[in-house]
Chain A
Amino acid sequence: ETGVTQSPTHLIKTRGQQVTLRCSSQSGHNTVSWYQQALGQGPQFIFQYYREEENGRGNFPPRFSGLQFPNYSSELNVNALELDDSALYLCASSFPGWETQYFGPGTRLLVL
């Protein structure tokens, strides 16, 4: 069974640029959630996708957007990057009917 994978592992961008992060969910999981984890903090919920539709959103501005594909993989897009967007971005997938979420290794984004 393949776990959650994310790409790239690290990324450096400059303020104002746009970034796309990718996630492949664990086999059999049809729900993907994205979290932002600032240094020294717990992960903060960005949004969740279920069957290719957004299924809940946290307190993040519209410049954070996402997609889910028919194979349940997902993308997180962030436009107009700000310095405070520097963080570890985590993707988590869920098995249908289960509350527990399984996390990937994350993408570390640095905005200069």
Chain B
Amino acid sequence: QKEVEQDPGPLSVPEGAIVSLNCTYSNSAFQYFMWYRQYSRKGPELLMYTYSSGNKEDGRFTAQVDKSSKYISLFIRDSQPSDSATYLCAMSRLGGTSGSRLTFGEGTQLTVNP
């Protein structure tokens, strides 16, 4: 069983729709949760970062973490064609000055149609 599960999609929505992307995980040691956006043939770009449970909002993006359910979500409001990309959830279990390894989901491929 994978430590992080993510529906690969593909997910196709009309412009302006609210998009919900989700990941579940099995390791309760994960404390830090991130969402990355990856355009085709590019490196992942950090979108959102959350520590422990709760919500975080940044513009059209909202990240939610529910540690009791081991479930994280990313919501995109007023989706735009430029949001078309693969969205990767990532988690880490260690802190400190040396950084941590990230465990990624498979990624969800999103297409926003004009």
Contacts and interface: CB of A to CB of B under 8 A. Distances in A.
B92 A99 contact: yes
Interface residues of B, number: 30
Nearest to A3: B43
Contacts, number: 75
A103 B45 contact: yes
Interface string A21-50: 000000000010101000011111100101
Contact of A42 (B32, B95, B105): B105
A42 B101 contact: no
Interface residues of A, number: 31
A66 interface: no
A68 to B, nearest CB: 12
A23 B96 CA distance: 23
B101 A99 contact: no
Interface of B: 4, 6, 8, 32, 34, 36, 41-46, 49, 51, 88, 90, 92, 95-107
Nearest to B88: A42
Which of B32, B100, B104 is packed against the most chain A CB atoms within 10 Å? B100
Contacts of B96: 97
A50 to B, nearest CB: 4
